[in-house]
Amino acid sequence: MKFIAYNVRPDERKYFENWSAKQDIPVKLIADEVKSDNLALAKGYDAVISFQTGTYPADFFDKLAEFGVKDVSIRNVGVDNLNLTAAKKYGIAVTNVPAYSPNAIAEFSITVLLQLLRQQNIFRKRMAENDYRWAPFVGKEIRALTIGIVGTGRIGKAAIEIYKGFGAKILAYDPYHDPKLESEGIYVDSLEELCGQVDVLTLHMPGSDKDGHLIDEAMIANLKDGAYIINTARGSLIDAKALLAALKSGKLGGAALDTYEYETPIFNHDLKQTGVKDELFNELVALDNVIMTPHIAFYTETAVENMVNISLDSAKDVIMTGKADTLVDLG
């Protein structure tokens, strides 16, 4: 049994090496993401371990089937960029890491909200110019707000527990109700209803084709004037153009975006020499009431270790038994 791992960052290497030594299973580490011109490196390996938020080669599963690969184990949650129909056609199992550290993302979402509420962008700019005045940029306190949680899975529930500590009022929308949260009476019947009642809308759900632009111009119109949007989930959930318009018009009080609809050529790339060519992105980043971060909500030591170990354990289980707790339903 042997595995090959793509898109391996320096901070992941020690976890791969430790696992490989303990399990006595070779794992070849490739720094580059999966591309058509390096896919052949997977020939002869039992499983491909990958972390890729962008596009996989169109013939990804075709080639892996040809090479004899039996499992693709991704080190993240989302599988919306994988052709699961092709995986099923070729009999290749797909596993993911459903929960590497819900607290990491939940904590981050609240961290960036606090920065928005206390207008940190403006104060950083003022201080850079040696202007240390306060007025008129008074902040808000979380305990005085109603927080709307969209998605009450592991991350959403972790966020709810933290917001409870702040003393905020919490409402939530999810088509699937958690029994404990149901007993607390926090659910509303629709996303439209949630938007109309909250001061902060924070997204904690996976992305899929049917959920594209869940937050569009019409849904933004349902929000209270001056509301805040937090997205640490998937960029595709928000219509970025509609969001920009609402921020510039004053309809929204602010937005914290750890993910962006067109992020693939931007996030996790060094663009110091070229800059960002996406004008929509540049307009968003330039606003004082926007905090943009490059998809780092997950990025803690605990999460990275869990992502590596769970993905490798899953691949091992699939190869040895044909099963794993993290198998993705291929339909």
Instruction: Write the pLDDT tens digit of every residue in 149-201.
Output: 999 999 999 999 999 999 999 999 999 999 999 999 999 999 999 999 999 99
Same domain? For 214 and 135 the reply is: yes
Same domain? For 176 and 288 the reply is: yes
Quick check: is 185 in a domain?
yes
pTM of model > 0.95: no
Quick check: is 85 in a domain?
yes
285 residue type, one letter: V
Tokens representing residue 185 in the block:
């009476």
Q: Which helix (H) or strand (E) holds 65?
A: helix 60-67
Quick check: is 328 in a domain?
no
Check residue 53 and give its pLDDT. 78
pLDDT < 70 positions in the chain: 207-211
Q: How far apart are CA 302 and CA 210, in angstroms?
A: 32
Same domain? For 235 and 225 the reply is: yes
pLDDT tens-digit readout, 111-154: 999 999 999 999 999 999 999 999 999 999 999 999 999 999 99
Same domain? For 84 and 114 the reply is: no
Q: What residues are labeled active site?
A: 234, 263, 295
Would the CA dihedral through 279, 281, 284, 285 be positive or negative? negative
Same domain? For 165 and 202 the reply is: yes
Q: CATH no. for residue 181?
A: 3.40.50.720
Same domain? For 93 and 198 the reply is: no
Distance, first Cα to last Cα, the chain:
27
CB of 292 closer than 8 Å to CB of 263:
no
Q: How far apart are CA 200 and CA 193, in angstroms?
A: 13
Same domain? For 96 and 142 the reply is: no
Check residue 80 and give its pLDDT. 84
Check residue 209 and give its pLDDT. 58
Same domain? For 168 and 61 the reply is: no
Check residue 100 and give its pLDDT. 87
Q: What angle do CA 73, 75, 81 make, to 5 degrees?
A: 75
Structural domain containing residue 208 = 102-292
Task: Report how many domains make up the chain.
Answer: 2
3-state DSSP assignment of residue 233: coil
